[in-house]
Amino acid sequence: MNWVVVVDDEDFNRKTVARILKKHDFIVTALASGPELLDFLFVKGNTPDLILLDIKMPQMDGFDTMKRLQELLPEEHRIPIVFLTGDTVDETEMKGLRMGAEDFIRKPIYPDVLLHRVNRIIELDRTHKSMAQEIQARSAECESLSRHVVQTLAEAIDAKDTYTNGHSDRVATYSREIAKRYGYSESAQNDIYMMGLLHDVGKIGVPDEIINKPGKLTDEEFAAIKSHPVIGDRILKKVKEMPKLSIGARWHHERYDGRGYPDGLKGEEILEEARIIAVADAYDAMTSHRSYRDILPQEVVRGEIEKGKGSQFDPVFADIMLQMIDEDKEYLMHEE
C-alpha cells in the first residue's frame, strides 16, 4: 500500500486529504507542522512514499521545511514532495518548482485531482528509482570490468621490464594517496589511480632490448625511451569513455621547471594529476631494483625528493610525498 504524509496546520485540510486517500487504500499520516515532519522522518525513522506539504504554516513554512529536508536527505533517499496551497500567485508555484517540488495541488482540494496527481507522482518516483538502481548496477559492472582490463594491461606493461615488478600499481597507489591527502574526492582518487596504472602504457611501443638494457643507452635508444609518453597519449586518447586517462601517460616526465619532456611544460601548465604522478613515479623509481643498483636507502630518496622541490617536482606534492616518507618509519614503501 502507498503511504502518504500530509502536513498542514489546519485540521480540516488534513482530515479532507486523509478521508479521500484512505477511501482508495492509502496509508495516511497527518501532521500539523514542519518540525513534526522532521521529527517523524529523522527521529522516528519513517520513510513514506510521498509528502503533501502546506506552504503557509507557523514556525516553519513549507519552503523552509523543504529546504531543511533537502539538507538532511541524501539524493538517493529523497521523498517526492507536492505542495498544497491556496495561493493563486504564479510566483509561489515557480518558487516551489525551482526548489524541487514535484507538483502543486491548489485548495480547495478536489478528490479526482488529488488522486490523479498522487498516484502519478508515486509511480513516476518508483520508476525513476528503479531505473537509477539499474543504471548504478550496470555502471558498477562496467567499472569493475574496466578496472580489471586496466590492471591486466598495466601488468603486461610491467612485464616488459625485467627489473621492475609492480611498478605501475605502486605508482598508482602512491598517486592516489597523495591525491587523498591533498583533498581529492573518492571519485577523483579513483581516476588518478587509473591514470597511474597506465602512465607507462607507451612503453608497449619501445623495444624490450632497450627497456632492459643494463648499460648506458645511446642517444638513439634514449630517444626511443623518451617517445613513450607520446605513444601512451596516442593510445589512451582512443578510450573515449575515460577522457582524462591519457593525462598521466603524456605528462609524467614533465618537470616543474619546464625542462621535462615531451612538451616542455612548466609549473601549472602541467595538469595537476600529472604533477602528482610525476612525484610518485620518481619515488618508485628510486625505491625499486634496477639492473645497475639496488633499492636506494630511504634517507637518500628523501633527499632527492627534497632537492627536486620546485625544479623537478611541484613543491606542494613533493611536500606531501615527504610527509608520507617521514611517516614510513620502517621503510615499507618500496618494491618487495
Looking at the annotation, which residues are catalytic?
203
Q: Tell me, what DSSP letter sits at residue 288?
A: S
Torsion of CA 210, 212, 218, 219, to 10 degrees: 60
Helix (H) or strand (E) holding 99: helix 90-99
Q: How many angstroms separate the Cα of 329 from the Cα of each of 19, 238, 333?
A: 70, 42, 10
User: Residue 116 is placed in which grid cell?
Assistant: 490523479
Residues 53/68, Cβ–Cβ less than 8 Å: no
Other CB atoms closer than 10 Å to residue 29's CB: what's the count?
Answer: 17
Q: Is 183 left (phi over 0), alpha (psi -120 to 50) or beta?
A: left
CA triple 91-92-93, angle to 5 deg: 90
Rounded distance between C-alpha atoms, residue 81 and residue 17, angstroms:
15
Q: Which amino acid is at 1?
A: M
Q: Among candidates 250, 263, 269, which has minimal Cα distance to 314?
A: 269
Distance CA 254, CA 290 (A): 22
Cα 136 to Cα 126, 129, 144: the distances in Å are: 15, 10, 12
Q: In the 8-state DSSP scheme, what is residue 262?
A: S
